Amino acid sequence: MTWWDEQTWANMVAGENCGMCQNVALESNPFSDLVAVLDHSYVRLARNQTHAGYCLVILKEHATELHALDTATLAGFWAGVARAGRAIDDTLHPTKIDYFVMGHRMPHVHCHLYPQHLTDDPFRNPDISDGDTALTLEATRSRVTQLQLALQAQHR
Amino acid sequence: MTWWDEQTWANMVAGENCGMCQNVALESNPFSDLVAVLDHSYVRLARNQTHAGYCLVILKEHATELHALDTATLAGFWAGVARAGRAIDDTLHPTKIDYFVMGHRMPHVHCHLYPQHLTDDPFRNPDISDGDTALTLEATRSRVTQLQLALQAQHR
């Protein structure tokens, strides 16, 4: 398969019916649960926790490419990603965190924070579609709370 | 295989014999060719041009995680990535650019700018090890020059 046809892609880029715009602020959606609202972004815990701590940081505004953002928004977005990364580090102690910005199906700037743990093979390029480890509702709430506390602790 | 043993990883994180520190400023190394030196980073054209325009933006200093960087360095690094992305966009007109920060084998902050073109399948999660398209020396120099001109044009 090749890329979206020109008109479909133009509509996606323009933000028509953008699923992220619609669902980013919900406490829960089919893909993730809300952790925090930062200055320029939302932090959400991915439902797939095969890589424990996997979170998304999603820009508040609809934009497709990093170079479309003004200087303050670009810096603020990545400051938010770094804050979320630090919270994941403090909470789940991964050995490394990977960061992926794609958006082929959802062209709205967002970053996948994809932790690598001691059980992961460092020679394997990660794929965010790996595994389907879903936590129980209770465990999800517990992880969200842990991350919230870690983010709040950064302000003290 | 699981992650590097504790001592090996600690040495890599500390920057002992870091290949990026050693080779980032060379005009050519086995993986890439120098395009530009920005305030906080080096921009290099990857040797593997299966995804035309594939570049790396590599932090000048040795650091492993985004959240280890101070605010100005973090913002400056991503400003450089955005500049490189804009230059790729202006030069090779991809339909989308992906950005990957990993560093499992080379834990020195760097971003893969991985262009997607109309011939790419948007439903496939990209893997930077795909393909092995190497340009001729002349074509490499031409692409480096095009990107340099696009970066310089940003200052006008």
- Of A70, A66, A54, whose CA–CA distance to A108 is shortest? A66
Does A89 have pLDDT greater than 80? Answer: yes
Q: CA of B7, closest CA in chain A: separation in Å?
A: 13
Report residue B43 as tokens: 């921009």
**CB-CB under 8 Å, A78 with B66:** yes
Report angle CA A91, B74, A65 to the nearest 5 degrees. Answer: 100
The complex scores an ipTM of 0.96
Q: CA of B25, closest CA in chain A: separation in Å?
A: 24
**CB-CB under 8 Å, B75 with A79:** yes
**Largest Cα span, chain B:** 50
User: What are the backbone dihedrals phi and psi of residue A48, each rounded to the nearest 5 degrees, phi first?
Assistant: -80, 105
SS3 of chain A: the string is CCCCCHHHHHHHHHCCCCHHHHHCCCCEECCEEEEEECCCEEEEEECECCCCCCEEEEECCCCCCHHHCCHHHHHHHHHHHHHHHHHHHHHHCCCEEEEEECCCCCCCCEEEEEEECCCCCCCCCCCCCCCCCECCHHHHHHHHHHHHHHHHHCCC
User: What are the backbone dihedrals phi and psi of residue A132, each rounded to the nearest 5 degrees, phi first?
Assistant: -150, 40
What are the DSSP E strand ranges found in B12-140? 28-29, 32-37, 41-46, 55-59, 96-101, 110-116
Q: Point out the residue among A1, A81, A96 whose CB comes nearest to the CB of B123.
A: A1
Give A1's pLDDT tier (boundaries 50, 70, 90): confident
Give B156's pLDDT tier (boundaries 50, 70, 90): low
**CB-CB under 8 Å, B82 with A9:** no
* Percent of chain A predicted with pLDDT > 90: 94
Top residue of B59, B125, B130 to mutate, by most chain A CBs within 10 Å, is: B125
Mean local confidence (pLDDT), B80-88: 98
Q: Point out the residue among B2, B79, B121 whose CB comes nearest to the CB of A121.
A: B2
* Distances B43 to B11, B87, B110, B151 between C-alpha atoms, Å: 25, 11, 10, 10
Question: Which residues in chain A have their CB less than 8 angstroms from residue B117's CB?
Answer: 3
Report angle CA A27, A13, A63 to the nearest 5 degrees. Answer: 60
Mean local confidence (pLDDT), B75-94: 98
Instruction: Measure the CA–CA gap between A108 and A11, rounded to whole angstroms.
Output: 12
Q: CA of A128, closest CA in chain B: separation in Å?
A: 8
Question: Which residues in chain A have their CB less than 8 angstroms from residue B129's CB?
Answer: 125
Does A155 have pLDDT greater than 90? Answer: no
Q: Kindly report, residue by residue over A24-38, the tens digit of the pLDDT.
A: 999 999 999 999 999
**CB-CB under 8 Å, B123 with A105:** yes
Q: Point out the residue among A3, A103, A121 whose CB comes nearest to the CB of B118.
A: A3
Q: Kindly report, residue by residue over B104-125, the tens digit of the pLDDT.
A: 999 999 999 999 999 999 999 8
Strands B32-37 and B28-29: antiparallel
pTM of the predicted protein model: 0.97
- 3-class secondary-structure state, position B25: coil
**CB-CB under 8 Å, B98 with A102:** yes
Does A88 have pLDDT greater than 80? Answer: yes
